[in-house]
Amino acid sequence: MFDLFSGLPLAVGFSLALALALVLAFEFINGFHDTANAVATVIYTKAMPPHLAVFFSGICNFLGVLLGGVGVAYAIVHLLPIDVLLNLENGRSLAMVYSILVAAIVWNLGTWYLGIPSSSSHTLIGAILGVGVVNALLGDLPLGTGVNWDKALDIGLSLIISPIAGFIVAGLMLLILKKGFVDSKMHKTPEQRRAIDNKKHPPFWNRLVLVLSAMSVSFVHGSNDGQKGIGLIMLVLIGIVPAKFILDPAATPYQIQRTYDATLHLQSLYERNANVLGDFLALQSTPTPLAPDFHCDPSNTPSTIQAVRLSLDGVHTYRALAPEARAQMRRYLLCLDDTARKVGSLKVLPAAEAADLQRLRSDLTITAEYAPLWVIAAVALALGIGTMVGWRRVVITVGEKIGKQGMTYAQGMAAQITAVGAIGVANLFSLPVSTTQVLSSGVAGTMVANRSGLHNGTVRTILLAWLLTFPASMLLSGGLFSLTVLALGM
């Protein structure tokens, strides 16, 4: 971290520092914007005092970021093809990064101020797509070259399916609780509990489940949403100072050897299955040197494997490679990984070979898809501290304004447990989802299952915010990017 700015021109160093500050500001805002959803039920049901709820939620968010890995982070990074970042001049890279961050921050602050549970994930992804599309338009390039549309489709499906699943599963869970515990006090609202039982807090076991599930929501929120901040910082570092971060500068000789060996094993695996992969991978062709601006294509696989082997032979540290060679190596590795993903999707390999292919993909990208510890720690701190402020506006919306009646303890438990499950599954598949959407739709599902009815005005506002977030953030970031590029003549 300490040599991050060494050797950089003053203007680039200042711009890099500002970009990193904006990313941490986004994560801080994300903390109090989204964590309000994570603690809404536990605060509204009086299971925990607000100050304790947000404090422990902040700690759980912090731990979630530290322990969550980087799979979701690179799902965000790969929304923009790596060639887009590498081929941009510093000025345009900065304009792209600032446009993404400013658009995301503006929309998040606006919806938080209005107390609307909108999605930070939608905002960030929409902002990235906006600058990618506009960058392609300004360069007279096909739209397909500006955005990784396959990755965007995967993420889009996860963002669509997760709230629908949250609505259905939470509603079904509540029905099961109502069937299994007909006369239980868990079906009372906090107001009914006070009026009928003269008690302020939920029954002990209900309270325990509410607290544990709320903290679990905070943990999985940190592990999913925190990774989006990690991805943003890596986007900044790769875009502005690629020579230092295009590959892991701290990669050990063992990790580099694993990458080298993975190409050998990958070649052997393909050759063993040449009868079904030979034409797709052009295995019969003679490997030839790749052009510097080559495009990733399965037919280039033999040449790409040869290029990696020649470039990494005898290399024990990436610092031994020139910056241009590191950039090419990243292209090679990500291209081989992308082709391996396509091979896996063909469903033509035996189960054992398919499992080996997945392990080889991990070895191929171990030094290309990484995050320094200081990046993870900085995002964890920003998200954890942000969690502890600004929660009140959204708590009231989630607890009282989605349904026509207040939330019961059972509804809070069902919505939170569903959110933990949905976000946890998304983490396993390295897919970003929206904590806001999953939890709010879970609450709505329990309201329908409880026949409480939905507050049409609030639901309409939330749905409108969800529908507008993608196009609004795309227009904001794309507009800012195009204005900056045109104004500065980049």
Express each pLDDT in 356-400 by its tens digit. Answer: 999 999 899 999 889 998 999 999 888 888 877 655 555 554 544
Do 261 and 51 form a contact (C-beta atoms < 8 A)?
A: no
Residue 34 scores a pLDDT above 70: no
Burial state string for 182-221 with b = 16 or more CB within 10 A and e = fewer than 16? eebbbbbbbeebeeeeeeebbeeebbebbbbbbbbbbbbb
Q: Tell me, what's the pLDDT at 270?
A: 94
Q: How far is 333 from 312, CA to CA, in rounded Å?
A: 11
Q: Tell me, what's the pLDDT at 115?
A: 64
- Would you place residue 259 in the very low, low, confident or very high pLDDT band (cuts 50, 70, 90)? very high
pLDDT tens digit string along 469-484? 888 889 999 999 999 8
In the predicted model, what is the mean pLDDT of residues 402-430? Answer: 82
Q: How far is 265 from 132, CA to CA, in rounded Å?
A: 35
- Give the tokens for residue 232: 């943003």
How many helices (H) and strands (E) are present in the chain, helices listed first? 20, 0
- Would you place residue 169 in the very low, low, confident or very high pLDDT band (cuts 50, 70, 90)? very high
Residues 6+ apart with CB under 8 A from 264: 309
Q: How many CA atoms lie within 13 A of 436 on its CB side?
A: 28
**34-38, 110-114, 480-484: least confident range:** 34-38
Q: Which of 227-241, 327-341, 454-468 has the highest mean pLDDT?
A: 327-341
- Give the tokens for residue 35: 């964590």
- Give the tokens for residue 485: 């590029």
Residue 65 scores a pLDDT above 60: yes
**What is the DSSP-derived secondary structure letter of residue 78?**
T
**62-66, 86-90, 345-349: least confident range:** 86-90
On average, the pLDDT of the chain sits at: 82
Q: Tell me, what's the pLDDT at 36?
A: 65
**59-73, 229-243, 289-303, 385-399: least confident range:** 385-399
Q: How far is 410 from 178, CA to CA, in rounded Å?
A: 8
- Is the whole-model pTM more than 0.85? no
- Would you place residue 271 in the very low, low, confident or very high pLDDT band (cuts 50, 70, 90)? very high
Q: Tell me, what's the pLDDT at 452?
A: 67
